[in-house]
Structures are given as C-alpha cells and as structure tokens.
C-alpha cells in the first residue's frame, strides 16, 4: 500500500476556517448538546467517493461566498477548524480552481485514508472519516429557504 497523498500544507494555519456547502434538507441540521448544530454526515459526503473532500479556505472565502458560488444560494454552510481536522489525522492541501466557468481560489481538499482498489491512499475518505468530520463541524450560515419535499431544489 502506497501513500500517494500530498503532504499536509503547513501554510494553512491552525486557525484557518474551512467551509463546506450543505444541501438544506430538513434533517441535515442536527442540534448538538451544549448548543449549536452539526451537519448530518451524509450531507457532507461528496459526489465521488474516490475523491478527497472539497472545502473552501476561510481566509479566501466568506461563508456566503461558499454558499453562493456557482449556485443559487439555496444552501447551508458548515465550518471546521483546520486544527481540529488535523487532530483527527487528516491532511489539508490547497487546490485552487483557476480554469473553467467557476474559478475558486479558496478551494482546498481534506485528504482521508480510504484506499483505492489497488490499496493505495489517494485522499478519499472512509465513511467513518466523514462521520468524524460531521461531528466537529458546525453551521455558520443558513439559507432562508430550506428545501422541502413539496418543492423543487
């Protein structure tokens, strides 16, 4: 098994805020003991299970920009701290999107330990890793119009 992941980017400081866009399904918002709300772990999974987790760096994006970029703004946003993510063993790297219709200089990746079919680590996350991240994430922005099954997305 080879670890093909890039090294953690030490230029991303411990107090960096990491933002993730969340689809506003009614059950995506879960109250946390002691206050605040965390996301449903299924809400932070990316579309492709063999890829790292996409995030925005808070030093280069506001929560509202993360919510609205390339979309209609009808999303929630959760926040993780880089320090807490690293304490769980993840690596964080910059991955700015400079080409295409929706550039995003704030784009970065959280690298996990889900092996690819060859057993190598390329940065995808296991279900347990998404679960751990969901438990340390907290909502920082809500859409005023959460999705309801009676309406379109």
Partner 1 sequence: MSSAAATNRVTFPAHSHSRYLPGITVNDSIPVVGGMEQWRSEAIQKVIGFSRLEPNWDSHGSQAPSLAVRQTAIDLLMRVPGELLPAPRIVPSSGGGCHFEWSVGHRELEVSIEPDCRIEALRVENGLPIEDGSQMDLTALFVWLASL
Residues within the interface to partner 1 (CB under 8 A)? 21, 23, 25-28, 30, 40-43, 45-49, 70-71, 75, 89, 112-115, 124, 126-129, 131-132, 135, 147-153
In the structure encoding, which two tokens stand for residue 124, read together? Answer: 């995808």
Using DSSP's 3-state secondary structure scheme, residue 102 falls into coil
CB of 38 to partner 1, least distance (A): 10
**Residue whose CB is less far from partner 1, 89 or 103:** 89
CB of 28 to partner 1, least distance (A): 5
CB of 61 to partner 1, least distance (A): 15
Distance CA 4, CA 40 (A): 29
**Residue whose CB is less far from partner 1, 28 or 140:** 28
The residue to which tokens 């057993």 are assigned? 119
Q: For residue 92, count CB atoms less than 10 angstroms from its CB and return exposed for 0-12, middle for 13-18, buried for 19 or more.
A: buried
């Amino acid at each position: 098994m080879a670890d093909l992941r890039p090294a953690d980017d030490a230029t991303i400081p411990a107090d960096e805020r990491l933002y993730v866009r969340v689809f506003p399904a009614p059950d995506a918002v879960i109250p946390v003991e002691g206050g605040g709300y965390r996301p449903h772990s299924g809400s932070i999974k990316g579309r492709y299970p063999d890829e790292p987790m996409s995030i925005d760096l808070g030093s280069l994006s506001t929560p509202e920009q993360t919510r609205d970029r390339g979309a209609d703004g009808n999303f929630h946003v959760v926040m993780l701290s880089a320090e807490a993510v690293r304490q769980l063993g993840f690596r964080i790297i910059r991955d700015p999107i400079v080409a295409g219709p929706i550039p995003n200089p704030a784009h970065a990746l959280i690298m996990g330990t889900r092996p690819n079919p060859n057993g190598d680590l390329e940065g995808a996350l296991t279900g347990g890793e998404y679960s751990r991240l969901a438990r340390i994430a907290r909502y920082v922005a809500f859409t005023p119009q959460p999705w309801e099954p009676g309406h379109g997305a």
